[in-house]
Amino acid sequence: MTYSVTVAQMRSHVRQLCEANRIAINYDRHASASYREREIWIRAVRSSRAYAVALHEIGHILGRYQLSRATLVRERHAWDWARRNGLRWTPEMRRHADRCLEHYARQESIPQHKATLGGPLVSQFPSAGDVAAQRRKRTSESANASKRHSGSQMNWPRGLFRVWVVASVLWAVGYAGYFWHSCWLQSETGDYWCFTGEFDDWMEPLRHFGWRQYLFNSGWAVGVPLLVLLMGWATYAVLQWIVIGVRGR
C-alpha cells in the first residue's frame, strides 16, 4: 500500500492482530515466538523496522510451514506472512528481511560453528624499573607542587580536571560494560546481537555493525565526557572573566 502509515497505527495493528488471533504479547529485548503457546516477545513498536519484526514474529505463529525442522523454511515463510499482512512494506523493511534471510542462509551453509580466540596475550605491564622511576617522578612532582602552592589557595582547575579524568574513565568503562551487557549470544548461529542505536533500541549482529553504529557508541563513550569538559571550561572562563572584572573596579 502506498498511503502513509503512522507508528501509532502500526502499533495498533500489531495489537489488533494478536487480539484477533489470541496471541499473547510480551515485551522483551529479544524478539521471539512460541508456536504452541501462541506467544510472541517483541520490543515496543517505535519504527517501521520494529513493526516488521513484530509482524515477523506473528508470522511464526500464523504463517505456513512453521512446524518445519528447517530454520530457513520457517524464517522465509514468517517474513512472507509479514509482507503480505502488513499495512505497509517499505524498502527499508524489505532490506532488513533480506538481510535476516541471508544471515540464516549463510549459517545453514556452514556445517559447524567454532568460537575463535585471538592470538596469545601480550603483557601490558611495565617493568619494575619503570614503575619505580614513575613513582619517584610522581613523588618529586608532588613535593614541588606542595612547595609552589604552600600557603596559597587550592588549584581548582587542576583538581577539577583530575576529577574529570577519573569520571571520564569510569563513564567509558561503564558504558562499555552496559553495551556488552546488552548483547546476547544467539546459540543457534553463534552471533552476538547488540544495540545499534539507530532506531531507539534496535539490535543487529555485531559483525554487521558499520561505521554509523560504531560512531554512535563511540560518541556516547567519548563524546559525553568531552561535552562535560567543554562546558566546564566555558563555565570556568566565564567565572574568571567575572572575577577579573570585579577586581578591576
Q: What is the pLDDT of residues 139-155, one digit of tens each?
A: 666 656 555 544 445 57
How much is the pLDDT for 50?
Answer: 92
Residue 2 has pLDDT above 70, yes or no: no
Average per-residue pLDDT for the chain: 77
Average pLDDT over residues 107-122: 47
What percent of the chain has pLDDT above 90?
A: 33
Read off the pTM.
0.49
How much is the pLDDT for 249?
Answer: 57
Residue 121 has pLDDT above 90, yes or no: no
Q: What is the C-alpha to C-alpha distance for residues 53 and 35, in angstroms, rounded to an integer? A: 16
- Return the higher-pLDDT residue of 77 and 111: 77
Phi, psi of 42 (to 5 degrees): -140, 170
Task: Give me the count of residues in the chain.
Answer: 249
Q: Is the torsion defined by CA of 13, 15, 16, 20 positive or negative?
A: positive
Residue 199 has pLDDT above 60, yes or no: no
Burial (Cβ within 10 Å: 0-12, 13-18, ≥19) of residue 41 = middle
Pairing of strands 32-34, 39-42: antiparallel
**Which parts of 86-125 fold into alpha helices (H)?**
91-108
Planar angle of CA 213, 207, 222, nearest 5 degrees: 35
How much is the pLDDT for 59?
Answer: 95
Q: What is the C-alpha to C-alpha distance for residues 249 and 246, in angstroms, rounded to an integer? A: 6
Q: Is the torsion defined by CA of 181, 187, 191, 196 positive or negative?
A: negative
How much is the pLDDT for 114?
Answer: 38
Amino acid at 3: Y
